[in-house]
A and B are shown apart, each in its own frame.
Chain A
Amino acid sequence: MFVPCDRGGGSASPDFKGFTLLMPAVSVGNVGQLAIDLVISTLDMTKVGYFYTDCLVPMVGNNPYATAEENSVELSINAEVYSLPSKKFVVLQIRSPFIKNKYRPFCQMLLSWVKSSNFARVILLSSSHAYQRDDEQLLGTPLRYLLTPDLEKAIGGLMQELNWKEMEKVAAYPGINDTEKILHIPGGGITKLLFKESCSKGIQMAVLLKFCSEGDNIPDAFALVNYLNEWLQLIKSEVSTSNNSTDTSSQWKIPSSWRLLFGNGLPPALF
């Protein structure tokens, strides 16, 4: 359940009516979560509440987006909500995996919160196993999108303009019967479930995902967040004069919590 940070003085829960909700799926390479870290850190978003749930593994730590001594002592938990009212933009960050058998209740709870808060739309950042691509998917861009029918009606044309590639359906019984096609997102965690549920509940949801493998997924996170930025224009993309590209990689702020991702310093005695 959503629990606002500020509950004193009789102030009501923050109003998210008409806002866009951005959230990650815990998926291969944690790319969605890393991309969300970049968004929160760069836009300097304010924490407005917690998503208190028994479905995620508990964890705590000090502020992962700390920039100075003063703001480094705020405690963070495994699922928190950040807001940028000027852009009508809310972000849910999830920092730990699901407890066994709890991913379904989590999806139910999340979607009912989306409905009750009257979010205009939901954008889900996710990823999928690169090794499960077919021959065609191996070529070209590794980024894909999906839109629920309700969102397709609203902005389907924009995706054409952006020249984005829709996630292909695959054969339900490969090699046996190639006519029946289904949506298959291996390694995508709850992506498929959330998407299917949103379709049936009439929620406007977009899924943005990248094919990747486990490893150093920081470049994947940058690719995904730049992909998102092509649509939402969260930060201005500078046209680089040297190669005439709109690469915004240098403008995303890496949070302080990304330090030491691959272990501690080495003991001097090793050498």
Chain B
Amino acid sequence: MATFFGEVVVAPSRAGVDDEESAEEAGEETPEDREIRRELEKKREIDVLWTLKSGAPAEGSADEPFACSKFIVAIGHSAAAFLSSFILDSVCWEVVGVVKLWNEWCRTSNTTNVLPTDSFCLFYRLISDPTVLLCQCSCYVAEDQQFQWLEKVFGCMRKEGLQVTILSTCPVADYKTQESTLTLPSPFLKALKTKEFKEQVCCPLLEQPNIVRDLPAAVLSYCQVWQIPAVLYQCYTDVIKLDTVTIEAFKPLLSSKILKSLVKDVSESTKFLKKLLTTNETHNNIYI
């Protein structure tokens, strides 16, 4: 097709298969190309390291799948910060796993002592009930790594009696509605649930034609296919960075069956949120 300036360009298409990748070319891959592709694939492999038994971390899956009754996954900075503010603390929870990954958007940090703005993916277990597992995943998991994440994480747990809760955020500009998104009171919560999930949801369901993508979609798809009760709470927000208004939009979840018993002291939450606010302010100030 020709642009306004008369140059001829290849029209982008939704076909999903670039014509450069067509069958003829792929057959001509040299051993060097294959080696490069293999190296790239290896670099993009994700590692899940568990420390379920006390002692040194064990690579990959534990000796045998561990029992899990509740799996709460927070994807994105705000969702992870919500769990840090209202659920997690160093007394009742212990770190039992970490995901190491690299892609063009981020590399996970090596430590478990992370800031809310870092890129990390950590697993915590409730000390009083080791079948309750929590995951904070604030790094971006690329589309070619999402399936790996699913298989390596869910592959380690027994699925009987498992219930999954997923928290994530999304720009409100992506929300499709008859009205304009400018007039919508954001942030707001919408939910999607699998067939097996029979409990009450804490907010309205996500209407057609809206869809969810990326890791939250991958986890929910997995649960739908393998008949695991699961619910996804997606917060539509107009703030890109970590902010307390978005974090607090998740508060209705604190009265849900899964999270009710895990909520920590209100004063702790307020302290954490205040600290978050001041940290953000310092970083946002471009003047010395």
* Chain A residues near B (Cβ < 8 Å): 3, 7, 25-30, 50, 52, 54, 57-64, 66, 72-75, 77-78, 97-104, 129, 131, 186-190, 192-193, 196, 213-214, 256-261, 263-269
Q: Are the CB atoms of A256 and B208 closer together than 8 Å?
A: yes
Q: Are the CB atoms of A99 and B143 closer together than 8 Å?
A: yes
Q: Are the CB atoms of B143 and A57 closer together than 8 Å?
A: yes
Given A63-B208, A257-B209; A104-B14 close (CB under 8 Å): no
Contacts of A62 in B (CB 8 A): 192, 205-208
Contacts of B64 in A (CB 8 A): none
Q: Are the CB atoms of A50 and B17 closer together than 8 Å?
A: no
Given A58-B217, A77-B224, A257-B209; A189-B17 close (CB under 8 Å): yes
Q: Give A100's nearest chain B residue, CB to CB.
A: B144
Query: In the complex the two chains form, what is the Cα distance from A269 to B11 in whole Å?
Result: 34
Q: Give B214's nearest chain A residue, CB to CB.
A: A58
Determine the interface band of chain B, counting residues with CB < 8 A from chain A. Answer: 35 or more
Beta-carbon contacts of B212-251 to A below 8 Å, as 1s and 0s?
Answer: 1111011011001111000010000000000000000000
Does B113 make an interface contact (CB < 8 A)? no
Contacts of B208 in A (CB 8 A): 61-64, 66, 72, 256-257, 259
The residue from A77, A101, A214 contacting B13, defined by CB atoms under 8 A apart: A214
Contacts of A54 in B (CB 8 A): 147
Q: Are the CB atoms of A75 and B224 closer together than 8 Å?
A: yes
Q: Are the CB atoms of A61 and B210 closer together than 8 Å?
A: yes
Given A59-B217, A74-B195, A189-B16; A3-B225 close (CB under 8 Å): yes
Contacts of B212 in A (CB 8 A): 59-61
Does B200 make an interface contact (CB < 8 A)? no
Does B279 make an interface contact (CB < 8 A)? no
Q: Are the CB atoms of A75 and B193 closer together than 8 Å?
A: yes
Q: Give A188's nearest chain B residue, CB to CB.
A: B15
Q: Are the CB atoms of A28 and B181 closer together than 8 Å?
A: no
Query: In the complex the two chains form, what is the Cα distance from A17 to B102 in whole Å?
Result: 45
Rounded to whole Å, the gap between the CB of A56 and the closest CB of chain B is: 9
